[in-house]
Amino acid sequence: MRNIDSYTHTRGESVYLDDIPLTAGTLFGAVYGSPVAHGKILKLDLSEAEAMEEVVRIFTYRDIPGKNQIGGIVPDEPLLAEDEVHYNGMPVALVVATSVEAAQSAVKKIKIEVEQHTVVTDPRIAQKNGSLLVPPRTFKLGDTQKAFESCAHIFEGIAETNGQEHLYIETQGAYALPAENAAIKVYSSTQGPTAVQRHMADVLGIPMHRIEVDVTRLGGGFGGKEDQATSWAIFCGLATYHLKKPVKYCLHRMEDMRMTGKRNPYSSDFKIGLDKDLKIIAYEVTFFQNAGAAADLSPAVLERTLFHCTNSYFVPNVKATAYSCRTNLPPNTAFRGFGGPQGMFVIEAAIAKAAEGLGIAASEIQKKNLIQTGEEFSYGQKAESEAIVCWEKVQSLYDVEKIKSEINAFNTSNTLYKKGMSFMPICFGISFTKILMNQARALVHVYTDGSVSISTGAVEMGQGVNTKMLQVAAAIFSISPNKIKVNSTNTYRIANTSPTAASAAADLNGKAVQIACEKILERIKAVAAEILKCGSSVIEINGEKIYANKEVADLSWDQLVMAAYLKRVNLSEHGHYATPGIHFDNTIEKGHPFAYHVYGTAITTVTIDCLRGTYEVDAVKLVHDFGTTMNAIVDKGQIEGGVVQGIGWMTMEEIVYDAEGRLRSNALSTYKVPDIYSVPKELNIHYLETLNDNLAIFRSKAVGEPPLMYGIGTYFALRNAIKAFNPNSNIGFFAPMTPEKLLMGLYSSTK
Ligand code: MTE
Ligand code: LUZ
Ligand code: MOS
């Protein structure tokens, strides 16, 4: 089934925040962000801005009626700076004016005096200074120290990954409207409607039931709106609270890039030990996460880095330590993969280093260490593994031997162009690592004409979750999708939602829809049994027709629904689902945190131009573990988008902050994202259908985040191409592999 939004998307009729018709009297907000990254505010001069005729009011922290606090995991983030600033762009004041232009120009008239303090942008320096957001964490399995003694080969090194700008097409924004009895309705471009509601209630000092958050869809979120949509909504809410007027604020792209956090950059130390048969015996890793100036979601991101630090390999002795380091950058945050990709890059670097040291292909080590069913991850969960199946399927399906010999032939006959290839196995755990977040609710109404409406806590952001919700209801009731409508995500209809994140929205909300539909169906079937004078158990509904004892009855779905209504049967249901069987004890860092894992393997081939340092991705060919996909088209879109986003992170997207903590890559002219030319010339996806039971909705495994990690393969394919040109290149493991870095790598030498 096609994405239900495709019709309105292609006609330009889909409604995003900025498409909501404005109510008369709407005012416009703009935030004044600190011009320096660290210091003490000595003086804030608003006078010139306030004197502007179009300026209605300028708010500072003094205008906050409740708590000046929006920290989610750690309460360490004020909505508006009080007497200190901790990053360039940190909100200091909110201007509200009669037009967008006036608000923006008033912001430019605000003056500030700041006593500047030392700016730290490097997580290793922050760690040395003892500047951590939360205490460090260590995951341990076996005894690495002892194991290293018996290793035939040991390799050590450093690996670094940079951040990544979310670059959702729709920037952050919100629109707040006053409602009666001092309530506020907020349209917000957020993945977490409840987070907006809860934090706004705290900041305004009012109960949550007075705040209605409504989300139709996002023009992309990618994690950037899991936590960081909140402040913009509260700014609008704060102004509405005081002025009793509708207030809207959609960020300009450059404001968004400057003021919001990105994927957490990491710098890491690794040490890997192998035996003579290339089995990885021991792995030690220390992660220095660049968290930025406040915790935001970074401690949770850090946790997932630890969970995925051995990727899809079984390593019997692991010691992984992670530091969440406070720096003077905007608080970094969730981004597709949520720390997983950062952890996986490091073990892939370790394996590449070992392979180069031993003069073999990395795949020799990779394939020998793939995790098997029953083997244990460092956090105690036993694998139900598809790692080897995916790996072997890739070999046979895509004729890897032929690809290898073609690359060798190409590299022998070309001096200024080289090709490289890599294998990238992935393994990603599905569930929020915070157990309590793994719950969801859905509200299903069947109307008297037989049509159905669904509301859930899931937010549509392009990933097609609404289409999947609709499919669930259509399948359970066995009615046409045309009879069903999925509504906006609204905190008055669905309460206490977890954010749409962790790739788990379709599973959690889909199961809640299933539960609600099944309950209604049971009641409707009882009515059919009464009408047809038979037992409920012999009633079946199929394609809107009612069957009793396999015989079609003279009763349609629509008629049956009406009959149920006339009998005063409840045609609505509120379903609740909580993932069973998951647990984690962080005092010992062991448990069973994930409902299941998603596996896959990609082969990537690239060609590099050894004069210019430019490159092309020739092909990404992959085998992906879908369980049993419930929507092959939607899932294909997720894989394609994820792969290209991963390639962008690994090759061209380069976030640059200067020593003063100022973002230099602050526009699309200075920050390169993948475009149509960056898409691999060939992208083959094989749907591995696995029949094992799992906790996914209709056994269709979560697909949102995992494919991003295939992009890591491009980095290593490029590296192999460099080595084909210059085996002595001393290029390290520093992503992204920009053309500049690649060119330097080609002509560098260890000798
Ligand atoms: N796909 C699109 N088109 N837009 C997005 O913003 N976000 C990704 C992924 N795919 C995203 C996307 C991220 S970060 C997550 S966690 C999942 O979608 C969330 O949706 P799901 O739980 O329904 O998979
Ligand atoms: N968000 C979150 C996530 O709060 N917890 C998670 O475990 C997670 N995982 C992936 C993406 N977002
Ligand atoms: Mo996705 S990083 O869980 O929003």
Q: Give tens-digit pLDDT for 411-457.
A: 999 999 999 999 999 999 999 999 999 999 999 999 999 999 999 99
> What does the pLDDT read at residue 750?
81
Give the pLDDT mean for 127-156. Answer: 98
> What does the pLDDT read at residue 499?
98
In the reported structure, the alpha carbon of residue 417 is separated from the centroid of ligand 3 by a whole-number distance in angstroms of 38
For the stretch 682-708, what's the b/e string if a residue is b when 16 or more beta carbons lie within 10 angstroms of its beta carbon?
Answer: ebebbebebeeebbbbbbbbbbbbbbb
> pLDDT tens across 148-206, in order?
999 999 999 999 999 999 999 999 999 999 999 999 999 999 999 999 999 999 999 99
Phi, psi angle pair for 327, to nearest 5°: -130, 170
> pLDDT tens across 615-639, in order?
999 999 999 999 999 999 999 999 9
Lowest mean pLDDT among 11-20, 106-115, 280-289, 689-698: 689-698
> What does the pLDDT read at residue 693?
81
Q: Is 433 in the pocket of ligand 2 (CB under 6 A)?
A: yes
> pLDDT tens across 300-353, in order?
999 999 999 999 999 999 999 999 999 999 999 999 999 999 999 999 999 999
Ligand 3 atom 4: residue of nearest CA = 223
> pLDDT tens across 656-674, in order?
999 999 999 999 999 999 9
Which ligand ends up closest to the CA of 642?
1
Question: Can you tell me the distance from the alpha carbon of 648 to that of 643, in angstroms, rounded to the nearest whole number?
Answer: 9
Residues with CB under 6 A from ligand 1: 220-223, 336, 461-463, 465, 500-506, 638, 641, 702, 704-705
> Which atom of ligand 3 approaches the CA of 224 most closely?
4
Question: Can you tell me the distance from the alpha carbon of 148 to that of 153, in angstroms, rounded to the nearest whole number?
Answer: 9
Give the pLDDT mean for 386-404. Answer: 97
List 112's β-bridge partners, or say none: 44
> What does the pLDDT read at residue 333?
98
> pLDDT tens across 578-619, in order?
999 999 999 999 999 999 999 999 999 999 999 999 999 999
Q: Is 199 in the pocket of ligand 3 (CB under 6 A)?
A: no
Confidence grade of residue 386 (pLDDT, cut at 50, 70, 90): very high
Contacts of 185 (CB under 8 A, 6+ apart): 176, 177, 179, 212, 214
In the reported structure, the alpha carbon of residue 273 is separated from the centroid of ligand 1 by a whole-number distance in angstroms of 36
Contacts of 145 (CB under 8 A, 6+ apart): none
Tell me which of 432, 436, 582 to substitute to probe ligand 2's pocket, judged by most ligand atoms within 8 Å of the beta carbon: 432
In the reported structure, the alpha carbon of residue 642 is separated from the centroid of ligand 1 by a whole-number distance in angstroms of 9
> What does the pLDDT read at residue 536?
96
Ligand 1 atom 12: residue of nearest CA = 463
In the reported structure, the alpha carbon of residue 117 is separated from the centroid of ligand 1 by a whole-number distance in angstroms of 39
Confidence grade of residue 137 (pLDDT, cut at 50, 70, 90): very high
> What does the pLDDT read at residue 546?
98
Phi, psi angle pair for 229, to nearest 5°: -85, -15
- Among 115, 589, 705, 740, the one annotated catalytic: 705
Say what percent of the chain tops pLDDT 90. 99
- Chain position carrying tokens 């299903």: 444
Confidence grade of residue 41 (pLDDT, cut at 50, 70, 90): very high
Give the pLDDT mean for 630-654. Answer: 98
Give the pLDDT mean for 556-570. Answer: 98
Confidence grade of residue 228 (pLDDT, cut at 50, 70, 90): very high
Q: Which tokens hold the place of 354?
A: 């070992």
Say what percent of the chain tops pLDDT 70. 100
CB 537 within 8 A of CB 550: no
Distance from the Cα of residue 629 to its chain's centroid: 20
Give the pLDDT mean for 496-519. Answer: 98
- Chain position carrying tokens 């509708």: 246
Ligand 1 atom 10: residue of nearest CA = 704
Q: Nearest 5 degrees, angle CA 178-CA 183-CA 187? A: 60
- Distances in Å between the Cα of 264 and the Cα atoms of 86, 144, 340 are 17, 27, 11
DSSP reduced 3-state for 697: helix
Q: What's at 648, amino acid-wise?
A: G
- The reply to whether 160 belongs to the active site is no
Q: Nearest 5 degrees, angle CA 72-CA 104-CA 224? A: 30
> What does the pLDDT read at residue 751?
76
Residue 256 has pLDDT above 80, yes or no: yes
Q: Is 334 in the pocket of ligand 2 (CB under 6 A)?
A: yes
- pTM over 0.95, yes/no: yes
> Which atom of ligand 1 approaches the CA of 464 most closely?
23
Ligand 2 atom 5: residue of nearest CA = 432
DSSP reduced 3-state for 589: coil
Tell me which of 218, 304, 333, 336 to substitute to probe ligand 1's pocket, judged by most ligand atoms within 8 Å of the beta carbon: 336
Q: What is the mean pLDDT of the chain?
A: 98
